[in-house]
Amino acid sequence: METVIETVPTQLLVDGQWVDATGGGTFEVTNPATGDVLARIADATPADGDRALAAAAAAQRDWARTEPRVRGEILRAAFELLTERADDFARLMTLEMGKALAEAKGEVAYGAEFFRWFSEEAVRIHGRYSAAPAGNTRLITMKGPVGPTLMITPWNFPLAMGTRKIGPAIAAGCTMVVKPAHETPLTMLALAALLEEVGLPRGVLNVVTTTDSGGVCEPLIRDARLRKLTFTGSTGVGKVLVGQAADQLLRVSMELGGNAPFIVFEDADLDAAVDGAMLAKMRNIGEACTSANRFLVHESVATDFSSRMAERMGSLTVGDGTQDGVDVGPLITETARAGVHELVSDAVSAGARALTGGVVPEGPGHFYPPTVLVDVPASARVFREEIFGPVAPISTFADEDEVVARANDTEYGLVAYFFTRDHARVLRVSEALEFGMVGVNTGIVSNPAAPFGGVKHSGFGREGGFEGIEEYLETKYVGSAL
Q: 56 Cβ partners below 8 Å, 6+ apart?
A: 148, 149, 175, 176, 177, 203, 204, 206, 225
Q: How far apart are CA 33 and CA 37, in angstroms?
A: 11
Q: What is the pLDDT of residue 361?
A: 95
Mean pLDDT of 409-430: 98
Instruction: Check the CA dihedral 224-228-233-236 and report its sign.
Output: positive
Mean pLDDT of 65-69: 98
pTM, two decimals, is 0.97
Which sequence positions are flagged as catalytic?
A: 255
* Residue range 234-278, pLDDT digits in tens: 999 999 999 999 999 999 999 999 999 999 999 999 999 999 999
Residue 1 pLDDT > 70, yes or no?
Answer: no
Mean pLDDT of 173-182: 98
Q: How far apart are CA 307 and CA 353, in angstroms?
A: 12
Q: What is the pLDDT of residue 3?
A: 83
All structural domains of the chain: 1-256+458-481 (3.40.605.10), 261-440 (3.40.309.10)
Q: What is the pLDDT of residue 2?
A: 55
Mean pLDDT of 24-37: 97
> Hey, how many other C-beta atoms are within 10 angstroms of the C-beta on 47?
13
* Residue range 103-146, pLDDT digits in tens: 999 999 999 999 999 999 999 999 999 999 999 999 999 999 99
> Hey, how many other C-beta atoms are within 10 angstroms of the C-beta on 24?
8
